[in-house]
Amino acid sequence: MSFKNYTKYIAAILIVVIAGGAYIALNQEKREVVIYTSVDQIFSEPILDKFEEETGINVKAVYDVEAAKTTGLVNRLIAEKDNPLCDVWWNGEIAQTILLKEEGILTPYFSPEATGIPEAYIDPEEYWIGFGGRARVCLVNTELMNPEDYPSSIYDLLDEKYPADQIAIAYPIFGTTATHVAALYATLGPEEAAAYFRALNEREIRVVDGNGVVRDLVADGDILFGLTDTDDSIGAIERGAPVEMVFLDQGEEQMGTLLIPNTVARVKDGPNTEEAEILIDYLLSEATVSELVEMGWFQLPLRDLEVDQGYFDANSVKGMNVNYVEIYDYIEQAKREMAEIFVR
């Protein structure tokens, strides 16, 4: 080979190498993942930004619009079923995740980072994994009640020693209150659970528009206590309100309180499979769960982790021994019967 031809040969190789390197770099720059999440942006965005920084994978996030609640994103995923644009679903309401599974929107993926999470929080077919969340609690006003008088069970809401107009629950066909009702249907049986709520209605306890309203009534001293969630309760505590959280039904023979997990799942036929699994692993990691507890989005890690959120011992809370798919199966019946009992 002449020197001239040899030079051309080397130049051609260099062009191929440079072009190949540029192609690889370009494709690396294009790595991305799309996530739809109902988790408040103030909490989810910093986590996703950190993932992006640590992995170099660009995150395109679609956040929940408060006015539409979770339903808007769920409907969007269903509408996109034949042409999925989303890779990962991160949700604070487990019932909607189970609905998406039934609609054929999700696909199985079991993350190695799920080790240590109890089976109760993992779909039996591995379509979703729960990894931290909140709990249903009784919030009491400490200026109006002494600790020895605090309720210790949901059945104390029926106790005549507490004036009915001094007790409140959220309207039980929406949000976590509806999920709580369905959990009682699954735990007690639908007849006993419905009878319990009929008794509450006959007592004429206060039924208000949401968990936040219950919290504010307790915090302002307008009522003795009410059922709400740990996140609402902590918000009142941080504002300096004279309130305390009480976890109900914690005795050995009692049913425990409802824990409401966040869930994460991979969307079927999403455009970025590998990146989706990397993101799911990241969200489920002990480091991320601990960070979400410290940020205040999670109050309970749902597995044994050394976390200190400063308000209660998360690892000592007794949760309901309940199947979340069974809860989902009861939701529509529970909502229908609650609407009949608590007529508005």
Where are the domains positioned within the chain? Answer: 26-132+262-309, 134-258+329-341
Predicted model pTM = 0.82
Angle between helices 286-295 and 273-284 (to 10 degrees): 60
- The residue type at 333: Q
Among candidate residues 237, 220, 325, 262, the one with its CA nearest the CA of residue 135: 262
Beta carbons within 10 angstroms of residue 42's beta carbon: 11
Domain topology for 134-258+329-341: D-Maltodextrin-Binding Protein; domain 2 (3.40.190)
In the prediction, which pLDDT does 19 show? 46
Q: What is the mean pLDDT of residues 42-50?
A: 96
Same fold, 26-132+262-309 and 134-258+329-341: yes
Per-residue confidence (pLDDT) for residue 2, from 0 to 100:
56
Per-residue pLDDT band for 16 (boundaries 50, 70, 90) equals: very low
Structure confidence at residue 3 (pLDDT): 46
Arch. (CATH architecture) of 26-132+262-309: 3-Layer(aba) Sandwich (3.40)
Identify the helix (H) or strand (E) that includes residue 131.
strand 129-141
pLDDT at 9: 52
Whole-number Å distance between alpha carbons of 319 and 257:
5
Identity (one letter) of the amino acid at 12? A
